[in-house]
Structure 1
Amino acid sequence: MLRIEQPVLEGGHVRLEPLTAAHVDGLFEIGQRQEDWAYLPTGAFTSRPDAERWVHQALDLASKQLHYPYVLVSPDTGVLMGSTRYLNVRPRDHVLEIGYTWLGHDYQRTPVNTEAKYLLLRHALEELGAYRVELKTDARNLRSQKAIERLGAQREGVLRRHMVVQDGYVRDSVMYSITDLDWPKIKKGLLGKLE
């Protein structure tokens, strides 16, 4: 049975720390650009209370062991760079999803997201005992699809009319996975990209 633990995960470009209420100000500071949230279920923070609500909702889901949210922190400066999480955990099946990932504008198209995904994948597949890790993205988000494919994930198909996002839009989601059998080759490729 898959049991989720949420330790700090540290790499050279990013440190993943469990989300706490103390992260509200840092997330508000980097989460105000609507373009960075274009394909996510919720929009950018227009006020500090928006950021507080977002953090408290994430922590509520964490308290119910439904989501395991992290913040992405610069190991050099301690500055918050974004957020990600484990979700849709199915312990009996040894399956979980990595998602709700967003980065502040200055940290996009850097090694930060790749390394964050590497750390989460390594933890899930090597330490938690996951057999399968799922990743989904809005079918309109071609940049995210390319990023997931660069990780080495296998595209499995499209979930049609899968979820309602901002402004009531009903999105299709592209489903990807990485399994424990895929991991040795994918791990080697990701380590090569991060060198």
Structure 2
Amino acid sequence: MFSPRKLTGQRIQLHPLELSHAEGLYESAKHQEIWTYLPNKIESLADMIQLLESALSAKELGSEYPFAVYDNELKRFVGSTRLLNISVSNRNLEIGWTWYSPEVWRTRVNTECKYELLKYCFEEFQAVRVQLKADVRNARSNQAIERIGATKEGILRQDRILHDGFIRNSNLYSVINSEWPEVKNRLEHFLKD
């Protein structure tokens, strides 16, 4: 059964995405370096509303489940992430469309988000596979995915067309259910403090 809900860590809360999150997310999305490797570029509140409407449409179709990321320390929304390419019959899905305000880069925010999402995927949804992708040029995102213990499977050539017309290649990573206990321990070790 696939039925996500609000997920809560020590520093973050993953709220099921709503249009009411648009203004708070837009405030965090104004740093243009966020959008370098993503298909969309957010330059206005209207752009953010359009991005959220697209995510919510995909949620209605059952192919995605988007979240707004709330930082308990900063007391505001600092980004967004999604469960996507959801296949209930095959019990697999992807974590993606993740972006954060640069002020939380290299903090525990991403680690906690990935921990809560993977924990939901493997322990509640009973996933057999969770995949993650990142632009091959995006060293920061690739390092973050590798840091959690995901296995690199290869490169998806010409996987996405970005907002500027660039056709990106994506590194493909996964965690499978037999690897989850080790990945979980690794993430819990990172989150100790």
TM over 0.5: yes
Alignment map for 1:85-164 (pairs within 5 Å): 85-164=82-161
1:51-109, Cα deviation, whole Å (9 max, x unpaired): 11111111111111111000110235540010000001111111100000000111111
> Given the alignment of the two structures, is residue 190 of structure 1 paired with residue 154 of structure 2, yes or no?
no
SS at 1:42 equivalent: coil
User: TM-score, normalised to structure 1's length?
Assistant: 0.95
**1:46 and 1:184 mapped to 2: Cα distance?**
40
Residue 55 (structure 1) aligns with:
52
Identify the range of structure 1 (59-68 vs 145-154) with the bigger mean alpha-carbon deviation. Answer: 59-68
Residue 168 (structure 1) aligns with:
165
Residue 8 (structure 1) aligns with:
6
> Given the alignment of the two structures, is residue 180 of structure 1 paired with residue 177 of structure 2, yes or no?
yes
User: TM-score, normalised to structure 2's length?
Assistant: 0.96
1:108-143, Cα deviation, whole Å (9 max, x unpaired): 110000110000000000110100000001011111
- Structure 2 unaligned residues grouped into runs of 5+: none
**2:39 and 2:56 mapped to 1: Cα distance?**
17
Percent identity between matched residues is: 40
| TM-fit CA distance, 1:13 | 1.2
SS at 2:47 equivalent: helix
Residue 32 (structure 1) aligns with:
30
Residue 42 (structure 1) aligns with:
40
> Given the alignment of the two structures, is residue 18 of structure 1 paired with residue 4 of structure 2, yes or no?
no
**1:35 and 1:73 mapped to 2: Cα distance?**
20
**1:78 and 1:41 mapped to 2: Cα distance?**
28
- Structure 1 unaligned residues grouped into runs of 5+: none
RMSD: 1.0
| TM-fit CA distance, 1:4 | 1.8
Give the paired residue count.
Answer: 192
Residue identity in the other structure for 1:19 = L
Residue 74 (structure 1) aligns with:
71
Residue identity in the other structure for 1:6 = P
**1:73 and 1:9 mapped to 2: Cα distance?**
10
